[in-house]
Amino acid sequence: MSDSLHAETITIAGHGDDQIEAYISTPLHGETRGGVVVIHHMPGYDRSTKEIARRFAELGYDAICPNLYHREAPGAAPDDAAATARANGGVPDERLIGDVAGAAAHLRSLANSNGKVGVIGYCSGGRQSVLAACNLDLDAAVDCYGAFVVGDPPPDRALKMTNIVDQLPNLRCPLLGLFGNEDAYPSPDQVDELDRILTEHHKPHEFHRYDGAGHAFFSVDRPSYRVEAANDGWERIEAFYGSCLGS
């Protein structure tokens, strides 16, 4: 299979049929394949997240990353957009679900789609990946160190965020979780709690936890990057999506 790919910025219909920016990367070969919605981390729709989208295309998937901050900051630099979104309280859950639904629908409309779509999110996107999988017909979900899937955010914070424990019984697809044992959001105890809740509800899930890694260990351009955890994590993701999104 060729590793040639095409990548570009497009416009898709998101929540409420809003036209939002998205970055799409697709393999050039003509074989049918699954798709991946990439949910960017809290620092935004940035270069490193677009690199992740291209990596999924190199792995043989159509990948799309919606700009979750497009409404607050159309055309702004990713860091400025992230600052604006943070100051405004973050991305509302309902809007996130609508934007991921629009991204998944776009992937399924592509000529070579096999109809299967997974979602993956990093940092705040980890929680949003689980949230999307509890509300949308997706085929696989990956949570990379998402905080507040369980556990309560400390009060008096400008970011409007709650846990989604009440939604976990509605999880509609297998979940792969990748966590650093040095992380505090989510803490190892919170990962234990999530594992326990999913087991109680008979939700298929697979968790991998890394010593010596904290939050954001996949971020290649940040001091938090941990090569061993990231490399193993990518292998887990490849195997998981290979199992869930194949033809």
- Return residues touching other proteins (CB under 8 A): 42-43, 72-73, 76-77, 79-84, 86-87, 123-124, 145, 147-148, 153-154, 157-159, 161, 183-185, 214-216, 222-224
179: nearest Cα among 112, 238, 230: 230
Instruction: Give the residue with the Cβ less far from other proteins, 72 or 93.
Output: 72
The smaller minimum CB distance to other proteins, of residues 213 and 237, is found at: 213
C-alpha to C-alpha distances, 84 to 34, 40, 43, nearest whole angstrom: 33, 15, 11
- Phi/psi for 133 (5° steps) reads -70, -20
- Report, in Å, the least distance between residue 156 CB and other proteins: 9
The rounded distance, in Å, linking the Cα atoms of 232 and 247 is 24
Residue closer to other proteins by CB (options 24, 39) is 39
Distance in angstroms (rounded) separating the CA atoms of residues 202 and 185:
25
How far apart are CB 220 and other proteins at their closest, in Å? 14
Task: Give the integer Cα–Cα distance in Å for 149 and 160.
Answer: 14
- Largest alpha-carbon pair distance within the chain? 52
Q: What are the beta bridge partners of residue 143?
A: 121, 177
User: Residue 75 Cβ, how far from other proteins at the closest point, in Å?
Assistant: 9
Nearest approach in angstroms of CB 82 to other proteins is: 8
- Determine how many CB atoms are found less than 10 A away from the CB of residue 1: 10
Instruction: Give the residue with the Cβ less far from other proteins, 114 or 181.
Output: 181
CB of 153 to other proteins, least distance (A): 6
CB-based contact 241:210 (threshold 8 Å): no
CA angle 168, 171, 177 (to 5 degrees): 80
The least CB distance from residue 28 to other proteins, in Å, is: 33
Q: Which residue, 61 or 179, has its beta carbon nearer to other proteins?
A: 179
Q: Minimum CB separation from other proteins for residue 132, in Å?
A: 18
Question: Closer CB to other proteins, residue 27 or residue 78?
Answer: 78
DSSP 159-227: S-----GGGGGG--S-EEEEEETT-STT-HHHHHHHHHHHHHTT--EEEEEETT--TTTT-TTSTT--H
Which lies closer to other proteins via its Cβ, residue 81 or residue 198? 81
